Structure 1
Amino acid sequence: MASIKKRGKTWYVRFSKRETRWDPEKQKNVSVLKQKSKGGFKTKAEAQQYGIKMEAASISGVDVTKNPVFADYFKTWYETYKFPSIRKSTQKRYITNYHYIENYFGDTKIKNITRSNYQKFLNYLGKKHAPATVRKTNIMIKSCIGNAVEDGLVERNFTNRTTIAGNKNAEKHVQYLNMKELRKLVQLCLTDLNTCYTSKYLVLTGIFTGARIGELSALKWSDINFKNNTINITKSWNCNTKKLGPTKTKSSVRKIKVNSFLLKKIKQLKANNLDFVFATPRTELPPSSSAVNQFLRRTLDQGNIHKQDFHFHSLRHTHVAYLLSKGVDISAISKRLGHANIATTLKIYAYLLDEYKEKQDSKIINSLDDICATNVQHG
């Protein structure tokens, strides 16, 4: 209920609402009075209009008495609903996006943000960041505001029907090794293989499968079929929590065909007599991703392969680049990677596909020239 009063030369609105909620200390329902007030209206009509608006919003399920700072709400949301179940790398993305929001919106309250305000924020981000970065930020914020709608803080999701902008010059092309570099890395990994140090085996398996490090670290001996040359990806290892969890997506659950050369090398690890395929004898657990990446960078340096920011996931990109160079169909590659659909693969590897397309275009032209040559001979 909204009450309107005059204070001096301006009008004042107070909205009051009683709610019944459970008090865990008293172990009974208690009545709680919630109020929100606003002053400074020049006329009574303006105050009445504001009061009507608040009452209508309250009837529709919006908690008009609460209006947290947007950045604060986003932070509380991801710490409560997201952090308990996501990887550390994904947590960093949420924190980065929190800083984007905090820097742009400052102390702006969530109810005061319009779709137009939010679009300007996306445009602002798009000046310095690649379209993919802006898109990922928007996805996270859209989910957060969906939660705010459920909490009754806002009536509508102000991220709906907005446009993603981005600076294409800021796009980072996927890093991968060429054939010469790839062969050198494989040779270095094969040199002095020692079952006590499983990072070499993990890197080799990443090269030959294109699987994520968490998927490979989670492998147990029952996941490898040495007879049919397949590796079953059904789970993922979180090196921070040291626990097994689900794969990144449902489509990530898959069976990967591998060559006997790789399986012969992996089989050497059975000598460790441990549950996890890539567990080290010292910890009886798979090595951390940082340890594997440190080994990978040392090995690349050893081979005079200079790739800035190259890491284990870059082996996945290298796997794709190699398969494309060998003419493997993109739909088969997509299934091997565990992508939900081919569109995901096309989006991630657009740069590689452009390179591949140039090679294919050359083949097409040469093929068409053959037709001309045939016609000339018969002419």
Structure 2
Amino acid sequence: MASITKRGKTWYVRFSKRVQQWNPEKQGMVSILKQKSKGGFKTKAEAQQFGIKMEAESLSGVDVTKNPEFAEYYRNWYTTYKFPSLSPSTKNRYKIDYKFIKGYFNTTKIKNISRDQYQSFITNFAKDHAIVTVRKLNTSIKACLSYAIDDGLLVRSFANHAAISGNENKERHVDYLNLQEIKQLVTSCEESLSPTYVSKYLIIAAIYTGARLGELSALQWSDVDFKNKTISITKSWNQDRRDMRKPKTKSSIRIIPVNSQLLDLLKQLKVNQSSFVFGKAITKLPPTSNGVNRVLRLLLNKNNMNRKNFHFHSLRHSHVAFLLSEGVDIYAISKRLGHADIGVTLKTYAYLLDEFKAKQDKVIVNALAKL
């Protein structure tokens, strides 16, 4: 209930509510008085309006006595609920996002942010960031606000229906190798191939399958069907944390047809006597991402391929570029990559699709000529 009193020339509102709360020490429910007050209203009507608003929010399940700073609530949310299952790189992204939120909203309380204010924040952030970065930040904030609603801090999310944009100059095109470079890299790996050094096998496997490093590292011998020439992607391994998890998404669980050349190379790794296909002879575990990328950079430098930002995941892009150049249907590529839908593939590889558009235009024109 809200009580209204006059203090000097202004009006003062105090909202009081008793709630039942579990007390661990007493091992029982206890009655707690929660209060929220605000003064400085010029008229009694203004104070009454504020009191009615608090009572209405309280009836809808909102805890009107709490109103934490948005930036600090966001930080507490991701450190509590997200960090335990995140990779170091993703943790760093949340920390960077927090800095932007703190820098813009400063000490603004979570209940005091309107949809217009949030839209201004997103629009301002988009001026210097690619649209994919803006979209990730917005998605994280929306997830955070859903917790705020469950905590009784908000009735609805102020991030709903925000217009997402981005700076085209900040877009990063996927880096990939052309056909000649792919052949050169594979040849370079095979020239010095030894089961003792499994990183080169991983590099070849990525070129032939387009699978992610975690997916390949997780492969057990039971996942390789030598008879039907397929590998099953059902899990993901992180060697840095040494834990096995489900793949990135449900759609990432898939069966990939592979060529005989790759399967013949994989058979060589059985001498390492590890349950992991790419397990090393000594540790019986796959190499770390740093270890694999170090070998990849050495091979690129050896073959005079100066690619500053090229890394293991770029081999996945190279796989897609090759398939597109060979006229493979984008839907088939999407399924092979384990994308949730073809829209994800189109967004990720829009730059590559534009490059091969001219070739496809000729195919279309030649097809129309047959009418």
Matched residue type, 1:183 = K
C-alpha offsets along residues 334-375 of structure 1, whole Å, 9 cap, x if unaligned? 00001111111111111111111122123444666x779xxx
**Normalising by the residue count of structure 2, what TM-score does the alignment of the two structures yield?**
0.97
Contact 2:240 2:289 in 1 (8 A): no
Q: Secondary structure at the match of 1:291?
A: helix
Distance in 2, matches of 1:102 and 1:186, equals 47
Quick check: 213-222 or 303-312, which moved more? 303-312
Aligned-residue offset at 1:130: 1.1
- Residue equivalent to 1:376: none
Q: Secondary structure at the match of 1:128?
A: coil
Quick check: 25-34 or 158-167, which moved more? 25-34
Distance in 1, matches of 2:281 and 2:23, equals 52
Distance in 2, matches of 1:363 and 1:238, equals 43
The percent identity for this pair of structures is 61
Quick check: 257-266 or 81-90, which moved more? 81-90
- Residue equivalent to 1:309: 309
Distance in 1, matches of 2:54 and 2:364, equals 66
C-alpha offsets along residues 290-343 of structure 1, whole Å, 9 cap, x if unaligned? 111111112111111011211111111100000000010001000000111111
Distance in 1, matches of 2:58 and 2:273, equals 64
Distance in 2, matches of 1:266 and 1:125, equals 47
- Residue equivalent to 1:139: 139
Aligned-residue offset at 1:87: 2.6
- Residue equivalent to 2:183: 183
Structure 2 segments unaligned to the other structure (5+ residues): none
- Residue equivalent to 2:233: 233
Contact 1:218 1:235 in 2 (8 A): yes
RMSD after superposition: 1.5
- Residue equivalent to 2:285: 285
CA distance 1:247–1:371, change in 2 (3 Å): closer
Aligned-residue offset at 1:213: 0.4
Distance in 2, matches of 1:66 and 1:57, equals 12
Quick check: 277-286 or 172-181, which moved more? 277-286
Counterparts of residues 189-338 of structure 1 (less than 5 Å): 189-338=189-338
Aligned-residue offset at 1:110: 0.5
Aligned-residue offset at 1:125: 1.1
C-alpha offsets along residues 76-132 of structure 1, whole Å, 9 cap, x if unaligned? 111222222233332222222212211111111110111000110111011111111
Distance in 2, matches of 1:207 and 1:71, equals 42
Quick check: 179-188 or 342-351, which moved more? 179-188
- Residue equivalent to 1:49: 49
Contact 1:88 1:240 in 2 (8 A): no
